[in-house]
Amino acid sequence: GENVEQHPSTLSVQEGDSAVIKCTYSDSASNYFPWYKQELGKRPQLIIDIRSNVGEKKDQRIAVTLNKTAKHFSLHITETQPEDSAVYFCAASTGQAGTALIFGKGTTLSVSS
Amino acid sequence: DTEVTQTPKHLVMGMTNKKSLKCEQHMGHRAMYWYKQKAKKPPELMFVYSYEKLSINESVPSRFSPECPNSSLLNLHLHALQPEDSALYLCASSQFTNTGELFFGEGSRLTVL
């Protein structure tokens, strides 16, 4: 089955810096790659997602890139702000019957002002 | 309405008690999920319902019993739980199974004494 590795597990940056979180997946049939943000004590919320027919997607300060050949995808946050501090989870899905999203172990991002 | 509503928000129960967690969504989603989340860990899939039928059971112990009375409601019946079952239980829904955004509820924080 699918396995998703996520690095780093913790990331500390200064306000205004960029942050990059990387994930690799094992199943070449995976075709959907979302990123979720979970603030302390709150629910996970989708911040951006990408499908396998696209190499890059951007939404304001957040971007995701996908390299299908290498089977990895990355989250890029520019001009970080203290409110970006949270746990970020990547995930992957093949969309096949009998399967569901597989999450990475998460990255705790701390943005200090 | 883009909300997934879970009740109760907090639950404390003894190992001999029987209780239920409830989840409701009115987005017309046909897939509903139960996840278990321990502190600083990713959500761990327990069950998936697709069109009100159980489609995935991730080898969850029988002391957890899911029920989907209709397309808007999802229950998780709890009986004879163990202290290690203490966790945040997250309900989620998506338009269809295996693809697209997961909408999470706020979760039910369960403590088993």
- The minimum CA-CA distance between A113 and chain B, rounded to whole Å, is 23
Buried b (16+ CB within 10 A) or exposed e, B3-22: ebebeeeebebeeeeebebb
Q: Using CA of residue A66, residue A56, residue A59, residue B102, what is the dihedral sign?
A: negative
pLDDT bracket for residue B98 (50, 70, 90): low
> What whole-number distance in Å separates Cα of residue B69 and Cα of residue A61?
42
Nearest residue of chain B to residue A86 (CA atoms)? B40
pLDDT of residue A42: 92
**The predicted structure's pLDDT at residue B1:** 63
- Contact between residue A28 and residue A71 where contact means Cβ atoms under 8 Å apart: yes
The larger pLDDT score, comparing residue B98 to residue A9, is at A9
Q: Which two tokens stand for residue B30?
A: 């046909």
pLDDT of B97 reads 77
Contacts of B97 in chain A (CB under 8 A): 97, 100
Return per-residue pLDDT of chain A as tens, 113 residues: 789 999 999 999 999 999 999 999 999 999 999 999 999 989 999 999 999 888 999 999 999 999 999 999 999 999 999 999 999 999 999 887 777 889 999 999 999 99
| Mutation choice for A interface testing from B40, B91, B98 by most A CBs within 10 A | B98
A106 touches chain B (CB under 8 A): yes
**Using CA atoms, how far apart are residues A21 and A38, in angstroms rounded to an integer?**
15
Q: Residue A53: what pLDDT?
A: 87
Three-state DSSP state, B34: strand
| Backbone φ, ψ for residue B85 (5° rounding) | -80, -5
Q: Is residue B78 within 8 angstroms of chain A, CB to CB?
A: no
CB-based contact (8 Å) between B14 and chain A? no
Taking a C-beta distance cutoff of 8 angstroms, is the pair B90, B35 a contact?
Answer: yes
DSSP at A31: -
Nearest by CB to residue A103, choosing from B40, B43, B98, is B43
Average of pLDDT values for B15-20? Answer: 93
A101 touches chain B (CB under 8 A): yes
pLDDT value, residue B47: 95
Q: How far is A18 from chain B (nearest CA, A)?
A: 23
pLDDT tens per residue across span A38-69: 999 899 999 999 998 889 999 999 999 999 99
